[in-house]
Structure 1
Amino acid sequence: MTPEQKDGPLLQIRNLEKRFDVDSGFLESLKFRGGKLRRDTRAVHAVNDISFDVGRGEAVCVVGESGCGKSTVARMVANLLTPSGGSIHYDGQRIDTLRGKALLPIRSKIQMVFQNPYASLNPRMTIGQTLEEPTRYHNPGLGSGEIRDKIAKVMKSVGIDPTWAARYSHELSGGQRQRIAIARALTVDPEFIVADEPISALDVSIQAQVLNLMLEMQEAHDITYLFITHDLSVVEHFGTRVVVLYLGSICEVADTRTLFSAPKHPYTKALLSAVPSLNDDSPSHIRLKGEIPTPIDLPPGCPFQTRCPLANARCRVEKPEPFAQSDGALVACHAVEEGRTDAGMTLQEAV
C-alpha cells in the first residue's frame, strides 16, 4: 500500500448505479405500442450515479425516506449486490468486481449488521454455533480452544454472558439478539461495518444501548461505519458525516454539525423540519406537496423537482450535480447554486 492510499479514504464510491429489471422474461417485455409489437424492458432505478467517500474512523450515515436506495447502497458495499455501473474501492483496491475466493480477504475486513435481528440469526443454531461459524471459516489455523476463547471474549465485549453460548436466538430479547449480531461481525476483527438500520426493529429503550455499544466498539476496535438509517435523531448522536439520498440520487453531503445547523437542499430542510424538538423557536414542519415519482419512470432533470417549491424550468430538464459550499458541504440543487433560496421566499412560504 502506498502512503497516498493509506492517507486517503478507506471507502470510495464513484458513479454507483443499480437497476433491478421488472420484466424478467422475454414475453413480459413485449408491449403493443402504435399498433406494433415492441420489446420494452423496464427497470427500477434504485441508485443513480452517486459518489462519496468514507474516511478511516468515520461513521458516515446515509439517510432518506423509504425506497430512496439506502439499503441497496449498503448491500453493494458489502458485495451482496453487484452494481449496474460505477465502482467501489476499499483501501485503494476495487472490490465490486471481485468474486469467489478473491473476496475472502475483503469479507473479513467488511462485515454487515442487518436490520432485523429476528431474521438475521439462524434459529436452528445456538449462539455459540452462530459465532463459531465465521470465526472458524476466516481463521482456519485456530484450534478449538482458541476459537472458544475468542468467542467468549467477543461476547463479553458486547455485554453478553459467555455461558449463554448454549442458548438459541429465540431465548433472547431483540436487543440481546442484535448484540449477538454485532458480536458475529466482530469475530473476524473487521475494519469496516455496514449497519443497515440496526436499531429500527428494537424498542426505543433498547436503541440507545445498542448505539452506545456500537460507539464503544468503534473506539475499542478502531472501526469505520457506514450507517443506514431514516432516524435523523440517531444521526445527530452517532454520525460524523451525512449523505442525504432522494430517489437514489444524492441531495446533500455534509458533516453532521453543518447539516443540522445549516441545511441547504430543500429536501434536507424538509427532513430536518420533521424531527421533533423541545425548542419552541424551531421552525414549523415543512409539508411537501406534489407527486412522488416512481423509480421505474424517473422524471427528467432533478429527481426532487415534482415536490420542490423552488423548482423552475432548468430544474425540470437538467439534473443538478453536487457542488462544494464554503462550509465544505456538497449540494446538488440548482436553486442553491443560483441563490434562489434567499430570494425573498422561504420554503414554508412557498409550500
Structure 2
Amino acid sequence: MTTIAEPLATPGYDSASATPLLEICGLEKRFDLSGDFLEQLRFKGGRLVRHQEFVHAINGVDLTIQRGEALCVVGESGCGKSTVARTVMGLLSPSAGEIHYDGARIDALSPRALLPYRKRMQMIFQNPYASLNPRMTIQQTLEEPIRLHHPDWDRERVVAKVREVMASVGIDPDWGGRFGHEFSGGQRQRIAIARALAVDPEFIVADEPISALDVSIQAQVLNLLMDAQQERHLTYLFITHDLAVVEHFGTRVAVMYLGTVCEVAPTRTLFATPRHPYTQALLSAIPRLEDDRPQPIRLSGEVPTPVDLPSGCVFHGRCPYAEPRCRREVPKLRPQADGSQVACHAVEEDRL
C-alpha cells in the first residue's frame, strides 16, 4: 500500500506576504433557471409579471492564497467548491465580486487579455476519463498547450519538453503515440497533471483530482502533486471533500457551506480546534480508531436549497447555537487569536 508523504515546508511560502498570489473579493455566482424572456412571464393577481429564479451557487466568498501554499477548500456536495474553482479559472463568469491575480484584476479581462495568465494558471479536472480528448494521442494532447503558449518553439524543443514532462509524472515518454483509452485511470490523471505542468505554471487549481480514482492509487497521485509543488514551487487551490487528504496536503483550509465560507484556518489549527459549528460537525464525522473518541455531532434539519437561500446565516436552520441575530444578520469572516477566520455570531459573542 502506498503511503502519503508528509508535506514539507514549501519554498517561498510566506503567510504574511503583502500581496497574495490570488485574492477573491465578494465573489458571487448565480445560475438563471428562468429560461428566456417569454418563459419568465406569469399571470399573478390578474397582472402579467416577470418571474425569475436563480441558483445562488456562491455568495460573497472572500479568500486569499499566498505564494507557495496549498489552500484546500472543503465542504459537502453542492456547497460551491467547484464553482469557485471554475470561476477563478475563467471558465465561468462571476455574477459579482472581483478576482485578483498577482495584484492585477483578471475577472473582467477579454479572452485575449487573459491569455498570458493562462500560462501561469492551469487546472486539473476531477474525471480523468472525460478530461482527455479521445481523438488525440497523448503526444498531441501534451503538445497542444505548449504550441499555444510558445509558438516560437521548433519541433525538437516541443518534443523534448513533452518527453521531460511525461517522465516527471512517471509516464514512459515512448507511450506518446497511444490514446487515452489505452491507459488506466491513475495513468490518465498523471497525463492530465503532465498537461497542466507542460507550460510551467506557478498556480494550479485541482478540482477533486483523486476522487474518481481507486483508493490504491490515490496516494500515488497525491504524492506526485506534492513532489511537483516542491520541485516547481507551485501554489495550489485544492478542491476536495476528503478530509484525510486535507490533513496531509493542505497548508490552510477553507470550509464552505451553501456557497459561503464558514471558516478559514491553518490545517493543524483547524483539525485541533475547529471553531465554527459546521466545521466541528464535519470533523466529528471522520472515522477514528480511538476507543475514547467523542460521538459524531448529528445535525438536525435539511440542507436548504440554493434556489431559496435562508436569511441571515445560511447555517442557522441546523445550528444548535442559533439565536435571533443569526436569522437576521449574515455573519462576516472575522480574524481570531489563533490565526483562523470564522464567520459565526456565536463565536464572535463568545457563546461557543
* TM-score bin, normalised by smaller chain: over 0.9
Question: Structure 1 residue 24: deviation in Å?
Answer: 1.9
Q: Partners in 1 of 2:154 and 2:165 — Cα distance? A: 17
**1:209 paired residue number:** 220
Alignment of 1:139-150 (within 5 A): 139-150=150-161
Aligned residue identity for 2:296: H
- Classify the secondary structure of the residue corresponding to 1:270: helix
Aligned residue identity for 2:162: I
**2:100 paired residue number:** 89
- Classify the secondary structure of the residue corresponding to 1:166: coil
Question: Structure 1 residue 284: deviation in Å?
Answer: 1.1
Alignment of 1:141-290 (within 5 A): 141-290=152-301
Q: Partners in 2 of 1:151 and 1:116 — Cα distance? A: 22
- Residue 120 (structure 1) aligned to one of 97, 107, 131: 131
C-alpha offsets along residues 263-310 of structure 1, whole Å, 9 cap, x if unaligned? Answer: 010000111011111122222111111132111110101000111111
**1:349 paired residue number:** none
TM-score (norm 2): 0.94
C-alpha offsets along residues 225-272 of structure 1, whole Å, 9 cap, x if unaligned? Answer: 000001111100100001111110110000100000000100001110
Q: Partners in 1 of 2:94 and 2:51 — Cα distance? A: 22
The unaligned stretches of length 5 or more in structure 2 are 1-16
TM-score (norm 1): 0.94
The unaligned stretches of length 5 or more in structure 1 are 1-5, 342-351
**1:31 paired residue number:** 42
**1:67 paired residue number:** 78
Aligned residue identity for 2:117: I
- Classify the secondary structure of the residue corresponding to 1:117: coil
Q: Partners in 2 of 1:260 and 1:195 — Cα distance? A: 22
**1:346 paired residue number:** none
**1:291 paired residue number:** 302
Q: Partners in 1 of 2:84 and 2:39 — Cα distance? A: 28
Size of the aligned set, in residue pairs, is 337
- Classify the secondary structure of the residue corresponding to 1:88: strand
Aligned residue identity for 1:93: A
Question: Structure 1 residue 36: deviation in Å?
Answer: 2.8
- Residue 333 (structure 1) aligned to one of 344, 349, 352: 344
2:22 matches 1:11: yes
- Classify the secondary structure of the residue corresponding to 2:248: helix
Question: Structure 1 residue 103: deviation in Å?
Answer: 1.1
**1:3 paired residue number:** none
- Classify the secondary structure of the residue corresponding to 2:129: helix
- Classify the secondary structure of the residue corresponding to 1:194: strand
Q: Partners in 1 of 2:118 and 2:349 — Cα distance? A: 44
**1:102 paired residue number:** 113
- Classify the secondary structure of the residue corresponding to 2:130: helix
Q: Partners in 2 of 1:79 and 1:277 — Cα distance? A: 39
Q: Partners in 2 of 1:257 and 1:25 — Cα distance? A: 48
C-alpha RMSD over aligned residues: 1.2
- Residue 22 (structure 1) aligned to one of 29, 33, 44: 33
C-alpha offsets along residues 128-172 of structure 1, whole Å, 9 cap, x if unaligned? Answer: 010011111111111101000000000000010001101111010
Q: Partners in 1 of 2:137 and 2:157 — Cα distance? A: 19
Q: Using the aligned pairs only, state the percent identity.
A: 66
Q: Partners in 1 of 2:44 and 2:75 — Cα distance? A: 36
**1:307 paired residue number:** 318
Question: Structure 1 residue 335: deviation in Å?
Answer: 1.0
- Classify the secondary structure of the residue corresponding to 1:215: helix
Q: Partners in 1 of 2:341 and 2:141 — Cα distance? A: 41
Q: Partners in 2 of 1:283 and 1:28 — Cα distance? A: 52
- Cα gap change, 1:273/1:144 in structure 2, threshold over 3 Å: closer, same or farther? same
Q: Partners in 2 of 1:293 and 1:314 — Cα distance? A: 18
**2:10 paired residue number:** none
Q: Larger deviation: 31-40 or 277-286?
A: 31-40
